C-alpha cells in the first residue's frame, strides 16, 4: 500500500503572521482527514514557527528548497541541515519554478537530493514537461530524462525515501489541469521507468500530481490508480480548500 500524501506548497506567499494562522487552521481541521498524510511547505522564514503552530496535529512540515552545498560562505542559502533543525521532515526539490527561474539543473538537484537525504529529510522531487514539449509529443522523453538524471542516481535505500511529484508546467497556476487520464498515463509511465531501475520498489513510491488541483477536480484525479496524492499550490493557501482536497480520496 502506497502512502497517500497531500502537500501544500505555499510558494512565496504569506507573512509570518498569516502563515502561522494558516498552519493553525490546517492543524485544527486535519482531524477530519483520514488515511492521508498532510504536509505544509511554507517559506524558510516561517518553518520554526509553523512547526510550533502544527503541534498536537499529525501535519508534517516541509521546506520548499535547500542549498546544494553543505555549509559555509554561500550568502542567502539555507542548508539541508538547517532545514532539518527546524523540525521539517520533507523538502520540495526540482520544482519547475526553481528549474526555470533559478537555473537549477539536474546536476544541482542531485546534490540537493543527496544532501537532503544525508540530513534525514525526505525529498519531494518534482518532474514535468513544458507546454511545447507536450505539444511536440516529447513529454515522456523529458520526464524520463529528469528521472534518469536524478532518481536513477540514488541507491535503493535512498530511492525508497523519496516522493515524486508530476507537475506538468503548463498546468501550474494556469487553471488548466491535466485530465485525470493524462495524469494517470504519465504516473503509470513514471512508475514503469522507475521499475526498470528499482524493480518492485517502484510499487511503493508515492507519485503526487500537481498543477491547478482544487476541491472540484481532486476526486477525479485521486481516483486514478497511480495518482497517490497532490502537490497543491494556490488552493493550499485556503485551509478549507486544502483540507477538502485531502478529503477527496
Ligand atoms: P497550483 O496548484 O497553484 O497550480 O501550483 C501547483 C504547484 O506548482 C505546486 O507545487
Find, among 101, 131, 190, 201, the residue nearest to 160 by Cα.
201
The response to whether residue 53 sits with its C-beta less than 6 Å from ligand 1 reads no
The CB of 212 under 6 Å from ligand 1? The reply is yes
| Ligand 1 within 6 A of CB of 218 | no
pLDDT in tens, 12-27: 999 999 999 999 999 9
- Cβ(241) – ligand 1 distance below 6 Å: no
Per-residue model confidence as pLDDT tens digits over 226-246: 999 999 999 999 999 999 999
From residue 236, alpha-carbon distances to 100, 130, 176, 212 in Å are: 22, 23, 17, 11
Determine the atom of ligand 1 nearest the C-alpha atom of 214.
2
C-alpha cell at 122: 525526505
| Structural domain spans, the chain | 5-246
Three-state DSSP at 227 gives coil
Q: Report the alpha-carbon distance of residue 179 to residue 120 in Å, rounded.
A: 35
> Which residues belong to the active site?
95, 167
- Under 8 Å between Cβ of 242 and 6: yes
Res. 98: pLDDT tops 90: yes
**Confidence (pLDDT) at 171:** 95
Nearest residue to 216 via CA among 180, 187, 181, 241 = 241
The alpha carbon dihedral of 224, 230, 234, 239 has a sign of positive
**Ligand 1 nearest-atom number relative to CA 97:** 8
- Which of 185, 181, 66 has the alpha carbon at shortest distance from 125? 66
Instruction: Give me the helices (H) in 174-230, please.
Output: 180-198, 215-222
CA of 69 to the centre of ligand 1 (A): 26
Ligand 1 atom closest to residue 231's alpha carbon, by position in its atom list: 9
Match domain 5-246 to its CATH number in 3.20.20.70, 3.40.50.920, 1.10.490.10, 3.40.190.10: 3.20.20.70
176: pLDDT confidence band, cut at 50, 70 and 90? confident
Q: How many C-beta neighbours within 10 Å does residue 18 have? A: 14
pLDDT at 13: 98
Q: 147 pLDDT exceeds 90?
A: yes
Q: Tell whether ligand 1 has an atom less than 6 A from the beta carbon of residue 231.
A: yes
CA of residue 34 to ligand 1 center, whole Å: 23
Question: What Rg value do the Cα atoms of the chain yield, rounded?
Answer: 17
SS3 37: strand
Amino acid at each position: 500500500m502506497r502512502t497517500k500524501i497531500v502537500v501544500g506548497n505555499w510558494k512565496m506567499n504569506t507573512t509570518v503572521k498569516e502563515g502561522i494562522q494558516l498552519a493553525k487552521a490546517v492543524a485544527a481541521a486535519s482531524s477530519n482527514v483520514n488515511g492521508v498524510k498532510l504536509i505544509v511547505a511554507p517559506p524558510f522564514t516561517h518553518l520554526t514557527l509553523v512547526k510550533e503552530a502544527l503541534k498536537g496535529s499529525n501535519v508534517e512540515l516541509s521546506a520548499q528548497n535547500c542549498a546544494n552545498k553543505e555549509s559555509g560562505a554561500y550568502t542567502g542559502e539555507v542548508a539541508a541541515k538547517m532545514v532539518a533543525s527546524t523540525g521539517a521532515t520533507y523538502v520540495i526539490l526540482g520544482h519547475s519554478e526553481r528549474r526555470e527561474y533559478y537555473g537549477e539543473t539536474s546536476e544541482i538537484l542531485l546534490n540537493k537530493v543527496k544532501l537532503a537525504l544525508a540530513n534525514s529529510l525526505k525529498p519531494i522531487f518534482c518532474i514535468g514537461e513544458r507546454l511545447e514539449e507536450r505539444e511536440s509529443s516529447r513529454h515522456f522523453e523529458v520526464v524520463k530524462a529528469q528521472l534518469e538524471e536524478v532518481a536513477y542516481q540514488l541507491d535503493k535505500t535512498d530511492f525508497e525515501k523519496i516522493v515524486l511529484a508530476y507537475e506538468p508546467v503548463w498546468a501550474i497556476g494556469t487553471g488548466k489541469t491535466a485530465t485525470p487520464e493524462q495524469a494517470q498515463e504519465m504516473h503509470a509511465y513514471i512508475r514503469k521507468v522507475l521499475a526498470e531501475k528499482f524493480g518492485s520498489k517502484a510499487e511503493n513510491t508515492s507519485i503526487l500530481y500537481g498543477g491547478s488541483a482544487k476541491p472540484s477536480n481532486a476526486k477525479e484525479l485521486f481516483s486514478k490508480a497511480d495518482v497517490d496524492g497532490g502537490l497543491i499550490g494556490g488552493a493550499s493557501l485556503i485551509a478549507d480548500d486544502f483540507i477538502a482536497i485531502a478529503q477527496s480520496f
